[in-house]
Homo-oligomer: A and B are copies of this chain.
Amino acid sequence: MPIPGVKNLIAIGSGKGGVGKTTVSVNLAITLARFGYKVGLLDADVYGPNVPLMMGVNQTPGARGERIVPLTGYGVTLMSMGFLNPGDGALVWRGPRLHGVMQQFLFGVEWGELDYLLIDMPPGTGDVQLSLIQTAAITGAVVVTTPSDVSLEDARKAVDMFSQVRVPILGVIENMSFMQCPHCHERLDPFGHGGGHRTADAMGLHFMGELPLDAHVRVGGDTGKPVSVKGSAEFDTLARDLIACTDVERSKRKTTISVED
């Protein structure tokens, strides 16, 4: 089911947690907004919602009738379980209740007119993920991984999950791909390098690019001031690629429909 007013619904998933999925989501959303698009970001990681911390937004959303009025940060319309359950309390909920929350986050929030609604998916391939991708008409998915084999193993499972429910994969991003020693400026790769690209190639998927393990990016997220607010060449490039991939996907669909007609 499409969300009224939302042109492109992009799921950002990973299989494995801790690979930088939220960092990528937050910075892509801010970059798209900087480019002039109307952008929303739905933090669907109900058990570990890190978007409020990373965006530096910590308020309670208001309501208009039965609908939730989302918050805004750096020009991005925001909704997160972290707004409804702030603090350190764990949300110990089972599947059916989560399904209801996902429905409400997708269809009960006043998203307004959006060019892009990015969904920061929870890691894994469980209940919440299924509810989300089966309920909403997702334009395409981006899979984030690190170069480590362990992360790639789970990324392939995420690709398989999206394929099982016929969500097209727009591309794969390799995060923590390399880093530069701040002392001797040599290039380091503590998590390995290139596995994301190789895996994308092997699976016939588009490789969207590499992102460095950059302390500035991490500090930006930890302090609620993402690097892309002031502009980041890496995220600019990624965002442009996302725009193009989304457009191609929509164009493919139109072609398929006219052929079927």
Q: In the bound complex, how far is the Cα of B47 from the Cα of A94, in angstroms?
A: 16
- If over half of A's interface residues share one DSSP class (helix, strand or loop), that class is named, otherwise mixed; here it is loop
Task: Say how far A123's CB is from chain B's closest CB, in angstroms.
Answer: 5
Is A164 close to B, CB under 8 A? Answer: yes
Q: In the bound complex, how far is the Cα of B214 from the Cα of A192, in angstroms?
A: 11
**Identical copies in the complex:** 2
Q: In the bound complex, how far is the Cα of B236 from the Cα of A207, in angstroms?
A: 40
Is A92 close to B, CB under 8 A? Answer: yes
Residue from the list B91, B96, B188, B215 in contact with A182, Cβ < 8 A = B188
Contact A90 B122 (CB under 8 A): no
Is A66 close to B, CB under 8 A? Answer: no
| Chain B residues near A218 (CB-CB < 8 A) | 148, 190-192
Which of A15-23, A104-112, A245-253 lies at the binding interface? A15-23
Is A34 close to B, CB under 8 A? Answer: no
Is A1 close to B, CB under 8 A? Answer: no
Interface magnitude class on chain A:
35 or more
Which of A4-12, A68-76, A124-132, A166-174 lies at the binding interface? A124-132
Is A186 close to B, CB under 8 A? Answer: yes
Residue from the list B89, B93, B150, B164 in contact with A54, Cβ < 8 A = B150
Across the two chains, which residue of chain B brings its CB closest to A165?
A: B92
| Chain B residues near A96 (CB-CB < 8 A) | 95
| Chain B residues near A191 (CB-CB < 8 A) | 218
Contact B222 A148 (CB under 8 A): yes
Task: Say how far A121's CB is from chain B's closest CB, in angstroms.
Answer: 12
Contact A150 B95 (CB under 8 A): no
Q: In the bound complex, how far is the Cα of B50 from the Cα of A15, in angstroms?
A: 11
A residues touching B (Cβ–Cβ < 8 Å)?
Answer: 15-19, 22, 47-48, 50, 53-54, 88-96, 98, 122-130, 146, 148-151, 153-154, 156-161, 164-165, 179, 181-184, 186, 188-192, 213-215, 218-219, 221-223
Nearest 3 CB-CB pairings of A with B: A18-B18, A17-B17, A184-B184
